Chain A
Amino acid sequence: MFDAQSFLHALPLLLRAAQMTVFVSAVGLLIGFLIAVAVVSACLSPRPPMRRLGNLYTFVFRGVPLLVQLMLAYYFLPTLGINVSPDVAAIAAVSLCEGAYLGEILRGGFLGIPRGQIEATQMLGISRFATLVHIEIPQALKLTAPSLVNEMILLVKASSLISVVGVAEITRTAQNIAASTFRPLEAYVAAGLMYMAVNGILSVLGHYAERHFERA
């Protein structure tokens, strides 16, 4: 029913694959964060066309399934002259998607900053960009830190789909193991446990981050 040996053999291979999973998720989160800042600025902009653009971006990238976004990034980007390896296409798609979700989270953070501070910077003649970098982003980060950790966990899970563009992360590696050992149950249960381990570590890191931000 359950072959413990294949299960144990799968674990080291999956551990190596987990590095790719964490890498893609981390980079996706980082770039996604930068995109999210741009999206939030657009959504909260005083100019209607910018707001429309921001809302359109959020609608599209949260409305299309990640699986389809991955396939599109892979097939479509090259027609725009952007020719990248599967890994980069995966990170690009994941970042663009994350940008939309993080944008919504950051929006809550940005809206939570007292307007008085923004008005003060305007009076002092500080540029919009400097305000963004020095005043708004740090405070938004503090306010939304727990949600950001949550997003990272969601991202790690979503990364299971990048197997569609062939990246050798946990799920694809498990598929390969299942194919060569003819024991799919053991391979996928091992994969599940690997994801739980990664996300467990992330949760713990998240708790530390929360407490760190609260102290500051």
Chain B
Amino acid sequence: MRMTRTFKWLLASTCLAAASFTLPAQADQLADVHKAGELVIGTEMQFAPFDFLKDGKQEGFNKEFFAKVGKALGVKIRFIDLPWASVLPGLDANKFDFVAGPLNVTKARKERYHFTLPIADGTVALLKSAKNTAFTKPEDIAGKVIGSQRGSAQLDQTKTYANSLKPAPEVREYVDFNQAYADLANGRIFAVGNSITNIAVVAKERPDTFAVIQPSIGKKVYFAFMGHKGANSDSLIKAIDDVILTMHKDGRLAALQKKWFGMEMDVPTADFVPNV
């Protein structure tokens, strides 16, 4: 008799849990954002020059870009700083409306999420220690130890390149890029694989510690922001895309790129098929 009661209880709670897996997304996301008066964005603040902390405050491309989006949409912008591995799961879990990052546009991600139009070049290249004068071309990493960020598309591309070399370098997975740069500076690793946009800025700010290795090691990829996939989110993404297109036309995007990346970048202004 007692066994049956416990069993029934377990069965009931499992059904409840299963039922909640199928909770549908509610109304139009853009309408929800307008109603709430704010757009909540998940990001990682260890990703200069897009998102980084200066004296504990957020600075970077994302802050300025989304300030413009907020003005265009008439809503406040609120950023949530998370370790990178928690950002995409956080979007899935509806902990925020949108992901900044930005992220590399990849085929796998496009199947599950909805990207905005791209805003920068995300092609992966290698960062080296400036003291390492023997290291002049990407192939020099063969047999060495390199690093990138766990859960990032840059890691995937770094690994792909690494596996094409003989002997293949060991790829260490860091929780964020800043920790990888720290280990590059203290000599634990030989190179860091990250998008050229990021490492160019790092090398420019600390030229006696870091330098970029050309050419890039991955296929051409673009950086974009990302939201939920589905009809409910289309209007929100389209609204942000409209802001991006406007910024293309009036030169504000190019100005932002020049300010934060040191140069303007050519990015697609319509949907495209990613290379990775």
B-contacting residues of A (Cβ < 8 Å)? 13, 47-49, 52-53, 71, 74-75, 77-81, 83, 85-86, 163-166, 168, 173, 176, 178-180, 182, 184
Q: Which residue on A lies nearest to B182, using beta carbons?
A: A184
User: How far is it, in angstroms, between the C-alpha of A156 and the C-alpha of B90 when the chains are bound?
Assistant: 25
The 4 closest A-B pairs by CB, nearest first: A78-B93, A166-B82, A179-B178, A49-B6
B211 vs chain A, min Cβ distance (A)? 16
Determine whether the beta carbon of B5 is less than 8 Å from that of A74: no
Determine whether the beta carbon of A83 is less than 8 Å from that of B45: no
User: How far is it, in angstroms, between the C-alpha of A180 and the C-alpha of B17 when the chains are bound?
Assistant: 43
User: How far is it, in angstroms, between the C-alpha of A173 and the C-alpha of B81 when the chains are bound?
Assistant: 11
Determine whether the beta carbon of B3 is less than 8 Å from that of A49: yes
List, in ascending order, chain A residues with CB within 8 A of B94's CB. 78, 83
List, in ascending order, chain A residues with CB within 8 A of B56's CB. 13, 173, 176
Does B20 make an interface contact (CB < 8 A)? yes
Determine whether the beta carbon of B20 is less than 8 Å from that of A86: no
Does B86 make an interface contact (CB < 8 A)? yes
Determine whether the beta carbon of B182 is less than 8 Å from that of A81: no
Does B53 make an interface contact (CB < 8 A)? yes
List, in ascending order, chain A residues with CB within 8 A of B54's CB. 180
List, in ascending order, chain A residues with CB within 8 A of B3's CB. 49
List, in ascending order, chain B residues with CB within 8 A of A75's CB. 86, 89, 92-93
A-contacting residues of B (Cβ < 8 Å)? 2-3, 5-6, 17, 20-21, 23, 45-46, 52-56, 80-83, 86, 89-90, 92-95, 176, 178-179, 182, 185, 206
Determine whether the beta carbon of A74 is less than 8 Å from that of B93: yes
Count A-B contacts at CB 8 Å.
74
Determine whether the beta carbon of B86 is less than 8 Å from that of A80: no
B59 vs chain A, min Cβ distance (A)? 10
B53 vs chain A, min Cβ distance (A)? 5
User: How far is it, in angstroms, between the C-alpha of A213 and the C-alpha of B6 when the chains are bound?
Assistant: 40
10 additional contacts (CB under 8 A) given A75-B92, A78-B92, A86-B86: A49-B2, A49-B3, A49-B6, A75-B89, A78-B95, A85-B95, A165-B86, A176-B53, A179-B46, A179-B179
User: How far is it, in angstroms, between the C-alpha of A22 and the C-alpha of B123 when the chains are bound?
Assistant: 43
Determine whether the beta carbon of B83 is less than 8 Å from that of A163: yes
Sample of 16 A–B contacts (CB below 8 Å): A49-B2, A49-B3, A71-B86, A75-B89, A77-B93, A78-B95, A79-B21, A83-B93, A166-B80, A173-B56, A176-B45, A179-B179, A179-B182, A180-B54, A182-B185, A182-B206
Q: Which residue on A lies nearest to B46, using beta carbons?
A: A179
User: How far is it, in angstroms, between the C-alpha of A77 and the C-alpha of B23 when the chains are bound?
Assistant: 13
Determine whether the beta carbon of A48 is less than 8 Å from that of B2: yes
B115 vs chain A, min Cβ distance (A)? 22
Report which of B23, B86, B176 forms a contact with A74, defined as CB distance below 8 A.
B86
A189 vs chain B, min Cβ distance (A)? 16
Q: Which residue on A lies nearest to B52, using beta carbons?
A: A180
Determine whether the beta carbon of A83 is less than 8 Å from that of B95: yes
B26 vs chain A, min Cβ distance (A)? 12
User: How far is it, in angstroms, between the C-alpha of A166 and the C-alpha of B23 when the chains are bound?
Assistant: 26
Report which of A74, A176, A184 forms a contact with B89, defined as CB distance below 8 A.
A74
Interface core residue of A165, A166, A176 (most chain B CB under 10 Å): A166
Q: Which residue on B lies nearest to A71, using beta carbons?
A: B86
A82 vs chain B, min Cβ distance (A)? 9
B84 vs chain A, min Cβ distance (A)? 10
Report which of A81, A163, A182 forms a contact with B23, defined as CB distance below 8 A.
A81
